């Protein structure tokens, strides 16, 4: 393999606090609606009158659209203003909330997730991650990615806890009241998009057009596809992201239907799981990463711990409050470690000597690979629980997660060897 030439000039870019906070807000809102199924899974499929297998099929199409959108998002990020790309994403995704509230037909629901597949990727993914990178210096990348990732989770937690409190207050004991509570939650989530979009329009200042010499050109596609970091980051992301997605997609219905936790408590616990634990992982891992010489080792250790905790969950009895607490404790540890590794992956861009001109494009290709579990695992996990039941199906999912963790650890080792050989850093 030929040595990769470092064409990047490491600048002393000043920390931009306003933009940092805006990126936290944007990240906190953008995924609320498409991924609310992770907390309100049962209410979601009941409201739309679909089966888990049908939901899995829709999510597979959503994953396909996300992959396509992400692949081309890098070109947009390397050519146009991040501010307006991100505003477009917020408004388009928020508009989907009104479509969801109209209770669309199955094909309308499919079209909605196709819209979301593009709205949270094409004008968001690469623009967001590239903007984070250039919010601060090269030696601040762990903090930047970890704290934006963790910070967005804590803001999401605030929104989600308000929604969960409203849900718990109105859920009642009948299907009708549960449905109405779900509608209130959807309104809250939808409103968040437009509020954040307005804040971004008002406060995001100084976003200059990309200079002509820094704009993406067609010839840069060859550079992106030849750069080893594109493929290492993409496949590491695939397995680390797949660990979290495959497990957390169906853990809420598992806790309700197998552990028999009541709906209100289940929503609160899964809100903690979705937002508080990822915040802890992103914040802590980001701070530690910048202080470590061997940065990839931290990622490997966190993924290994997450895989071990999943295996432990296989042996936790399903009955009894004590065992429910043990399960949730293991779940919290898993999410903290998995999200810690996931949220700081792109802090390795500077370590890998990625030129600024193709930062967005490399992110776009890497994420289009890394988010393929949105196609494969969304369908597979829903198929497993729909075919084998929540208890046996979840056990199969847990085993898949452990295997994904093992593969991710091997890929980290290969990436570290590449960095040491060609750049003398890891």
The DSSP result for 3-60, as a single string, is: PPP-------PPP-HHHHHHHHHHHHHHTTTTTGGGTSHHHHHHHHT--HHHHHHHHH
| Contact yes or no for 182/45 (Cβ under 8 A) | no
pTM of the model: 0.70
- Give 95-119 pLDDT, tens digit per residue: 999 999 999 999 999 999 999 999 9
- List the chain domain ranges: 17-204+213-422
pLDDT of residue 138: 66
Fold of domain 17-204+213-422: Growth Hormone; Chain: A; (1.20.1250)
Angle at 377 between CA 144 and CA 233, to 5 degrees: 35
CA separation for the pair 252, 268 (Å, rounded): 10
Residue 2 pLDDT > 50: no
Residue 135 pLDDT greater than 90, yes or no:
no
Looking at residues 335-351, what average pLDDT do you find?
A: 77
At residue 250, the pLDDT reads 83
Q: Is the pLDDT of residue 207 over 90?
A: no
Q: How confident is the model at residue 333 (pLDDT cuts 50, 70, 90)?
A: very high
pLDDT at 396 (0 to 100): 92
At residue 78, φ and ψ (nearest 5 deg) are: -90, 5
User: Rounded distance, CA 251 to CA 124, Å?
Assistant: 27
């Amino acid at each position: 393999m030929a040595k990769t030439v470092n064409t990047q000039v490491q600048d002393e870019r000043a920390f931009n606090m306003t933009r940092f906070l805006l990126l936290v807000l944007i990240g906190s809102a953008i995924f609320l609606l498409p991924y609310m199924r992770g907390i309100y899974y049962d209410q979601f499929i009941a409201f739309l009158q679909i089966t888990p297998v049908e939901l899995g099929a829709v999510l597979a199409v959503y994953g396909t659209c996300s992959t396509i959108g992400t692949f081309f998002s890098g070109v947009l990020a390397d050519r146009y203003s991040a501010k307006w790309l991100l505003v477009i994403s917020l408004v388009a995704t928020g508009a989907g909330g009104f479509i969801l509230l109209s209770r669309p037909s199955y094909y309308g629901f499919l079209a909605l997730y196709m819209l979301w597949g593009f709205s949270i990727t094409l004008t968001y993914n690469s623009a967001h991650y590239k903007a984070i990178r250039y919010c601060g210096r090269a030696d601040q990348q762990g903090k930047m990615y970890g704290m934006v990732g963790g910070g967005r989770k804590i803001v999401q937690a605030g929104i989600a806890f308000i929604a969960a409190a409203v849900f718990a207050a109105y859920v009642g004991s009948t299907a009708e009241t549960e449905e109405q509570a779900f509608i209130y939650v959807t309104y809250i989530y939808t409103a968040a998009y437009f509020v954040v979009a307005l804040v971004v329009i008002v406060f995001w200042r100084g976003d200059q057009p990309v200079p002509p010499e820094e704009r993406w050109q067609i010839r840069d596609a060859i550079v992106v596809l030849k750069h080893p970091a594109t493929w290492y980051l993409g496949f590491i992301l695939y397995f680390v992201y797949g660990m979290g997605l495959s497990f957390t997609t169906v853990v809420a219905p598992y806790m309700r239907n197998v552990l028999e936790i009541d709906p209100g408590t289940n929503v609160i616990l899964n809100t903690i799981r979705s937002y508080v634990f990822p915040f802890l992982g992103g914040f802590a891992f980001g701070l530690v990463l910048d202080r470590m010489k061997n940065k990839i080792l931290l990622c490997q250790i966190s993924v290994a711990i997450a895989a071990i905790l999943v295996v432990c969950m296989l042996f936790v009895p399903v009955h009894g409050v004590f065992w429910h607490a043990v399960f949730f404790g293991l779940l919290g540890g898993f999410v903290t470690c998995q999200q810690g590794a996931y949220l700081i992956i792109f802090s390795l861009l500077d370590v890998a000597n990625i030129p600024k001109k193709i930062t967005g494009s490399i992110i776009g290709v890497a994420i289009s690979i890394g988010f393929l579990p949105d196609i494969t695992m969304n369908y597979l996990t829903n198929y497993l629980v729909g075919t084998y039941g929540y208890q046996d199906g979840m056990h199969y999912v847990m085993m898949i997660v452990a295997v994904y963790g093992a593969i991710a650890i091997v890929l980290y080792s290969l990436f570290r060897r590449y960095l040491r050989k060609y750049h003398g850093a890891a």
